[in-house]
Amino acid sequence: AQSVAQPEDQVNVAEGNPLTVKCTYSVSGNPYLFWYVQYPNRGLQFLLKYITGDNLVKGSYGFEAEFNKSQTSFHLKKPSALVSDSALYFCAVRVPSGSARQLTFGSGTQLTVLP
């Protein structure tokens, strides 16, 4: 079975400060990892993904994430937060083989960037 944990329901950060949204995963085999963002009254928007290769992945809106195999983590980061980054963030994982073709999502982390 595959699973994703987002240990923080809520993250608050001041505008201009760096932000981190945490994600850990559990899978059998090599994972594909994704981050999505959901703004109020909108569907999920894809931010970035890790498939293979460089552990540091860069995505939309200045976000990046680092794949750490030993810690089974894929934390989302941004060097300088904007108020407009305030939204609900979801980490997701899937394995590329076997019957587990579903994308498993975490429960989400609400990011609030304070002006």
Partner 1 sequence: ETGVTQTPRHLVMGMTNKKSLKCEQHLGHNAMYWYKQSAKKPLELMFVYNFKEQTENNSVPSRFSPECPNSSHLFLHLHTLQPEDSALYLCASSPLVGQGFYEQYFGPGTRLTVT
**Interface residues for partner 1 in 49-88 (CB under 8 A)?**
49, 51
Residue closer to partner 1 (CB basis): 108 or 111: 108
Any residues with CB less than 8 A from the CB of 47 and at least 6 apart, and which? 34, 35, 36, 37, 59, 60, 61, 63, 76, 89
Rule CB under 8 A: is residue 40 a binding residue for partner 1?
no
Q: Which CB atom, from 30 or from 80, has the smaller least distance to partner 1?
A: 30
Kindly tell me which of 12 and 30 has the beta carbon lying closer to partner 1.
Answer: 30
Count of chain residues binding partner 1 (CB under 8 A) = 24
Q: Which amino acid type is present at position 67?
A: F
Q: How far is the CB of 105 from partner 1 (least distance, A)?
A: 4
Q: Closest approach of Cβ 17 to partner 1, in Å?
A: 27
> Rounded to whole angstroms, what are the CA distances from 1 to 36, 47, 100?
21, 25, 8
Phi, psi torsion values for 61, nearest 5 degrees = 60, 25
Q: Helices marked H in 1-115 — which ranges?
A: none
List interacting residues with partner 1 (CB under 8 A): 4, 32, 34, 36, 41-46, 49, 51, 90, 94-96, 101-108
